[in-house]
Every structure is written in structure tokens, then in C-alpha cells.
């Protein structure tokens, strides 16, 4: 089958918890806490084991995960996670592979690539851009909701949990899957990127028709990998790119996130191929 390609928005390639206060006021005679300690709130779920046996996933991903965990990069990653946990590090999210638990490989119709989990208390729960019910919606996710409202006329969601999307075949995948409290990108380069590249390749190799939403330069760096893999398997792929939804870039040219129309383009393209997609939250 011939592949169909479109990049209408990517002519140019350019990242149920209450909100918790992260700052404290030191009192006389009390040592001020370290930055990581400020983010390590009591009762906030965090990673407790570096063993992937503790992270349940849909069995459809086993062919991707098993070789990784048995290989040198996977073993090294487990060892580093266990070492940091032993040293008292607070690591988020509690279930790094939650995206693969909620969205089976055979169900993926849209892949949204993020970069790094949120590093504040109670925010990251294993889905890119998503936060648990009851957590204040972060700025990037607010812009995603603004574009959803502008593009499809939907009411602004009041909660930031994107699990309904995951259940409908939207794979919300960060390229790095753990982070230490208060330290953005602290686990970048540890090996997660090798695993998530394999996940992206598995989607491109198996999904007969899939939309890839590539927001920001980091996500767009995966475009050629996706194209080559999908084309070699005779699959259709729609790659849509724009700036990242961060307030720092959402309105900037030449590819502003706000106004990109990606949600309607994805919905209409999939519907034309017999795959209805509902973005309502």
C-alpha cells in the first residue's frame, strides 16, 4: 500500500492531587531545606522501585520492553534509578510506563511526544503533558486547552488529566520518563530515550494510519525516524509540527502552537480513514 504523507503545518522545523505549596520559610535555628526537599512533599506519590517488574503495562508492549530491559542500557538505567532511590532521591512519576499501561500498541491512533516529566510534587503521573485530577493545570497544558477550544469550539477543561485521551488511542509519551524532584531534565541521557525511540518505531511499524503531533524541536527531531519506519511498512502517517505549547514559544513564529489547528486536522484525517477520534475531556 502506498503511503500518504502530509506536513501542512511543518514546512519549517524550528518540549487526584491538590496543588501543594513548594516553598517554606526557615525559622530561627532551623536549616533551610535543599531545593529537592522542597519538592518532596509528604504523601505525594513518587517512584519507590527501579525495577520495571513493578510497573504494569499492556502486554502488547512486551516485545519492545523485554529486549530493552535485558540489554545493557536497560540494566544500567535500572541500576541508576535504584542507586538514586537508595540515596534518598525523590523521583517522579510513581509509574514511569503508565502511558503504555493505558494505551495498547494496537489502539494507537495519535502519538503526542513530550520531553520530560513535570518535576513538581504531585504533577507527573506518567502521561506527557497530563497531570492528575485536582492538580493545577500547568502553563503548557493551559495552552493546549486554549487551542483545543479555539480549534474545535470545546469548553475549556477544568481538570488537567488526559487519561480519557489515552483510553481513546492517544499515546502521550515523554522521551525521558523519570525526573528528580525540583530538577528538570535530571534523568536526560540515562537511557530512557533509547526505550522511547523503540516505542516510537513500534508505533510507526504497526499502526496502519497514525497522526504524530510534534510540538517543539525536540519532538520534531523524531520526524525522519517516523517517516522512514512508517513508509517501510506501507503505513500512512500524518506528521503535524509546530512550536511547543510552552508560553515561551506558543505564540512565536514561524510555527505558533496557538492557531495550529492540529486537533481538527488529526480528527478529520483519521475519520476519513475510518478511525473516529473524540478530543472531548
Residue 131's CATH number: 3.40.470.10
Q: Render each residue's pLDDT in the chain as its tens digit; 281 residues.
A: 333 444 443 433 333 333 333 333 333 343 333 334 434 456 799 999 999 999 999 999 999 999 999 999 999 999 999 999 999 999 999 999 999 999 999 999 999 999 999 999 999 999 999 999 999 999 999 999 999 999 999 999 999 999 999 999 999 999 999 999 999 999 999 999 999 999 999 999 999 999 999 999 999 999 999 999 999 999 999 999 999 999 999 999 999 999 999 999 999 999 999 999 999 99
Output the CA torsion sign for 204, 227, 10, 200.
positive
Q: Are 38 and 23 in contact (CB under 8 A)?
A: yes
In a domain, 215, yes or no: yes
Map residue 84 onto helix, strand or coil. Answer: helix
Residue span of the structural domain in which 242 resides: 5-271
Q: Are 99 and 127 in contact (CB under 8 A)?
A: yes
The CA distance from 215 to 13, in Å, is 10
| Cell numbers describing residue 15 | 518540549
The CA distance from 30 to 132, in Å, is 33
pLDDT of 43 reads 78
In a domain, 281, yes or no: no
Tell whether omega for the bond before 254 is within 30 degrees of 0, i.e. cis: yes
In a domain, 259, yes or no: yes
Is 58 part of the annotated catalytic residue set? no
pLDDT of 19 reads 34
pLDDT of 124 reads 97
In a domain, 204, yes or no: yes
Q: Are 215 and 113 in contact (CB under 8 A)?
A: yes
Active-site annotation holder among 37, 42, 116, 151: 116
Q: What angle do CA 187, 189, 193 make, to 5 degrees?
A: 100
214 strand-pairing partners: 241
In a domain, 194, yes or no: yes
In a domain, 10, yes or no: yes
Amino acid at each position: 500500500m502506498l503511503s500518504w504523507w502530509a506536513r501542512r503545518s511543518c514546512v519549517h522545523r524550528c518540549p487526584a492531587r491538590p496543588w501543594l505549596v513548594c516553598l517554606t520559610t526557615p525559622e530561627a535555628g532551623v536549616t533551610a531545606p535543599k531545593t529537592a526537599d522542597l519538592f518532596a512533599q509528604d504523601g505525594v506519590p513518587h517512584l519507590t522501585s527501579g525495577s520495571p517488574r513493578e510497573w504494569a503495562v499492556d502486554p502488547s508492549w512486551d516485545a519492545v520492553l523485554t529486549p530493552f530491559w535485558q540489554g545493557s542500557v536497560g540494566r544500567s538505567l535500572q541500576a541508576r534509578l535504584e542507586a538514586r532511590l537508595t540515596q534518598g532521591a525523590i523521583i517522579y512519576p510513581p509509574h514511569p510506563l503508565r502511558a503504555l499501561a493505558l494505551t495498547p500498541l494496537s489502539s494507537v491512533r495519535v502519538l503526542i511526544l513530550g520531553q520530560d516529566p513535570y518535576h513538581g510534587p504531585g504533577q507527573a503521573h506518567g502521561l506527557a503533558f497530563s497531570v492528575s485530577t485536582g492538580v493545577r493545570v500547568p502553563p503548557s497544558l493551559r495552552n493546549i486547552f486554549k487551542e483545543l477550544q479555539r480549534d474545535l469550539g470545546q469548553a475549556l477543561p477544568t481538570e488537567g488529566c488526559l487519561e480519557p485521551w489515552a483510553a481513546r488511542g492517544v499515546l502521550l509519551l515523554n522521551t525521558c520518563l523519570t525526573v528528580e524532584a525540583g530538577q528538570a531534565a535530571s534523568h536526560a541521557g540515562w537511557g530512557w530515550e533509547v526505550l522511547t525511540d523503540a516505542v516510537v518505531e513500534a508505533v510507526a511499524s504497526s499502526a496502519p494510519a497514525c497522526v504524530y503531533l510534534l510540538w517543539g524541536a525536540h519532538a520534531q527531531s523524531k520526524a525522519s525516524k517516523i517517516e522512514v519506519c512508517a513508509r517501510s511498512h506501507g503505513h500512512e502517517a500524518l506528521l503535524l509540527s509546530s512550536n511547543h505549547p510552552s508560553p515561551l514559544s506558543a505564540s512565536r513564529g514561524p510555527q505558533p502552537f496557538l492557531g495550529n489547528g492540529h486537533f481538527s486536522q488529526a480528527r478529520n484525517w483519521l475519520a476519513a480513514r475510518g478511525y473516529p477520534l473524540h478530543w472531548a475531556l
